[in-house]
A and B are shown apart, each in its own frame.
Chain A
Amino acid sequence: MDEIERRRRDDALYPAADTGAMAAARYLVVVGGADASTTDVLADALRDEFAVRTAYSEAGLFASLDDDVDVVLVDPRLPDFDASRLSACLRERDLDCQVGVVTDDRAETVTDARHRAALADAFVATPSEDTDGAWRNAVSRLAARARYRKRLEEYYRIADEYATLVVDAESTTGDDGADEDGEGEPAESQTDRADADATGQDPADGEPANEQSVDEDAAVERERLADSLDRLQAALADAYDDLDADSLFDVVIDPWQGAPPPWRDSAASENTDPDDESP
């Protein structure tokens, strides 16, 4: 994605005057199941609340996945389905969607249970007339986690760009960013950052940025990124309270960071505990 595309996407995702637009966007759910009629019933039960795509094969499921997808609901009885391939696909494409494995106690096999243990962010029971609300709520919880994670990823990406620009500006002006005012004093707070970007002043020494030969385009870009950071931070704080997770760290950090992914753990294949049905 080039810079112009990225700016357009940022502007669409994070409009200056309306951070609530992010929360208002409909979540996108992919429902993958072996049986078309059953899969369509599941999808139809979600359509008034979510945008929905359907897939009836592993290949179709993979073709349905992109950055816009928030939740993948997959029936492990999908033809030729392999949990490790789906996990690898999500990681290779760097997709931050959440995976719910559709479960049905009455028909589950040991193989299904192994897929569940290896893959799922949550287990989602198939809906019935009595549990339709619970089905939607389970999908909503997954979607909220996915959206939070995407926002945090975006927050990091923009922070990284911002940091690069700040360091570039420092090297241009010869300011190494050191605190020259004395020990124990704040070097630069977030409030300082916003004020500095708005006024073109360098908070470290108070000199006009223009007199320090700071590139104007870089300064404008820095201001734009600072605005995006502030909006994303506010949106993340708002979304925090809506998350339904035992631990926020489960949502934002890959559990196998630095370790083998869980599907390589043979112990996972032994997990057939029916108590695992709860998300």
Chain B
Amino acid sequence: MTDDSDAAADQAATVLLLAPEAGSTAGVLSAAALDDDRPDRVVAVTVTGTAERWLDGWNRRTQSDPAVTCVDVDGATRSTASESDRVGPGVEREHVADPAALEELGRTVSDVLQRADDEGESVALFVHTLDDLLAHVDEATAFKFVYTLGEVVRRVDGIAYFHLDPDGRDRETIENVSIVCDRTVEIDRFEANRSPE
């Protein structure tokens, strides 16, 4: 995405990010999706992946230095004190214990976004991944979660990227989620791992 992209893209608040299952490269994928955009704060929601792994990929790919908030879902059950220490200085971290509790996850992310907006920060949100959430809730609930989070992001003039692995989903699910997003972007593994220029 570049500054000279078309008007529709400039107005997009929600993006369906179709990309291979990221694993340890989720942070790399986030940086690749942002391209030249430079938000003041990046918020990363990780479900199966961890905040540490996301940050590792993010720091490998990006040359910018936005503030970072990680919302680690199910992190309480797998994190140790030493892992928390490794998140790094200047990185805020939130925990949501239950990946099926989208009400709590939505409220937590909304609070983070609202605080950023109150501080006058522009914000980009990444949800890695919708596949992980769909392992815990039905498609209707995930759809409503994406729609509602999109509305919250729209109110703070931010942008949200919802990552879905197209190889792991049927076309109907992809089409369904794309309806509730402003635009759809596909990134392949090569593009995600391309070195920044």
Contacts and interface: CB of A to CB of B under 8 A. Distances in A.
Nearest to A259: B100
Interface in A154-195: 155-156, 159-160, 162-164, 166-167, 170, 176-179, 183-191, 193
A258 B152 CA distance: 24
A191 B144 CA distance: 21
Contacts, number: 125
A186 B171 contact: no
Contacts of A178: 186
Contacts of B148: 152, 248-249, 252-253
A250 interface: yes
Given A240-B151, A253-B103, A179 B186 contact: yes
A266 interface: no
B185 interface: yes
A245 B171 CA distance: 35
A255 interface: yes
A184 B143 CA distance: 23
Interface residues of A, number: 42
B100 A187 contact: no
A257 B187 contact: no
B191 interface: yes
B106 interface: yes
A69 interface: no
Given A188-B184, A240-B151, A176 B171 contact: yes
Interface string B93-110: 000001011111111001
A88 interface: no
A124 interface: no
Contact of A248 (B1, B9, B35, B106): B106
Interface string A232-262: 0000110010000011111011110111000
A155 to B, nearest CB: 7
Contacts of B118: none
B22 interface: no
A114 B170 CA distance: 44
Interface in B106-152: 106-107, 110, 136-137, 140-141, 143-145, 147-148, 151-152
B172 A237 contact: no
Main secondary structure of the interface of B (DSSP, over half): helix
A42 interface: no
A159 B1 CA distance: 27
Contact of B102 (A166, A177, A190, A253): A253
A257 B182 contact: no
A189 B105 CA distance: 27
B183 A162 contact: no
A162 B172 CA distance: 9
Contacts of A179: 184, 186
A229 interface: yes
Contacts of B104: 249
Contacts of A229: 179
Given A253-B106, A253-B144, A184 B175 contact: no
B8 interface: yes
Given A167-B172, A167-B175, A247-B107, A189 B183 contact: yes
Interface of A: 152-153, 155-156, 159-160, 162-164, 166-167, 170, 176-179, 183-191, 193, 229, 236-237, 240, 246-250, 252-255, 257-259
Chain A to chain B: the 7 pairs with minimum beta-carbon distance, closest first: A258-B100, A249-B106, A163-B175, A163-B176, A187-B184, A247-B107, A186-B183
24 contacts: A152-B144, A152-B147, A159-B176, A160-B172, A163-B173, A176-B171, A183-B187, A186-B8, A187-B184, A189-B182, A189-B184, A190-B182, A246-B107, A248-B110, A248-B148, A249-B107, A249-B145, A253-B106, A254-B141, A255-B103, A257-B103, A257-B141, A259-B98, A259-B100
